[in-house]
Amino acid sequence: MKKKVLIISSSYRTKGNSARLAEEFFKGATEAGNDVELISLHDKTIGFCRGCLACQTTLRCVIRDDADIIREKMLNADVLVFATPVYYYGISGQLKTLLDRCNPLYSSDYKFREVYLLFTAAEDSEDAKQRTLDNFDGWLVCYEKAQLAGYVFCGGVNDVGDIEGDKKLEEAYQMGRAV
């Protein structure tokens, strides 16, 4: 069954390691016949949540910027995929800011059920992986109809291109094909 897949890459390096995981997932999900869109946050304007909670009534943020557009796409996607570099054992600030701005989704009839996380870190440890998963789960647990369907973690990559040739690229591609 064809699914609407939305991939959000939060790397500011357009050819960064987590961006490469997103590209491979995109390729796999597209080849599997899905309707796939890849959004990169590197050129988006996303302001911080003001905590006004107006969105809980209006189902829309009072701030009009790229987060408002992306949130609407998230609302209507069957599958969400987030790609992020790891900063201080957590998701990137860019992604965290976007997720905070997605508060209107909480009260809405969102379609997504499957959520994937693709993440890279300079450190290659179980601790780096688990802390990031726990950090991301703080957002995901608020969406009771959705679940973490899978993740790819590639540690030990720091500089642009470090991931090239790594088996985690193939893992992201195959995960995309299986969506």
DSSP 41: G
DSSP 17: H
Task: Kindly state the tokens that stand for 173.
Answer: 């591609």
57 vs 116, residue with greater confidence: 116
pTM over 0.85: yes
Q: Roughly how many angstroms between the first and final C-alpha of the chain, as a whole number?
A: 9
pLDDT, position 124: 94
| Average pLDDT along the chain | 96
Is the predicted pLDDT of residue 1 greater than 90, yes or no?
A: no
Q: Three-class SS of residue 89? A: coil
Residue 90 main-chain phi, psi, to 5 deg? -155, 175
Q: With bands split at pLDDT 50, 70 and 90, how would you rate the model's confidence at 179?
A: very high
Which strands form 35-40's sheet, in the order they lie side by side? Answer: 35-40, 4-9, 79-85, 114-121, 147-155
Residue % of the chain over a pLDDT of 70: 100
Is the predicted pLDDT of residue 166 greater than 90, yes or no?
A: yes
Task: Kindly state the tokens that stand for 172.
Answer: 């992201």
Domains for the chain: give ranges and CATH numbers: 4-177 (3.40.50.360)
Q: With bands split at pLDDT 50, 70 and 90, how would you rate the model's confidence at 56?
A: confident
Residues linked to residue 153 through DSSP beta bridges, in sequence order: 119
Is the predicted pLDDT of residue 14 greater than 90, yes or no?
A: no
Task: Kindly state the tokens that stand for 158.
Answer: 């720091």
Alpha-carbon span 7 to 9, nearest angstrom: 6
Those residues whose C-beta lies under 8 Å from the C-beta of residue 141, and which sit 6 or more positions away, are: none
Q: Each residue of 88-112: pLDDT tens digit?
A: 999 999 999 999 999 999 889 999 9
Is the predicted pLDDT of residue 3 greater than 90, yes or no?
A: yes
Residue type (1 letter), 32 = A
CA atoms within 13 A on the CB side of 136: 28
Task: Tell me the DSSP string of 53-119.
Answer: -THHHHSS-SS-SHHHHHHHHHHT-SEEEEEEE-BTTB--HHHHHHHHHTHHHHTS-----EEEEEE
Task: Kindly state the tokens that stand for 4.
Answer: 């609407």
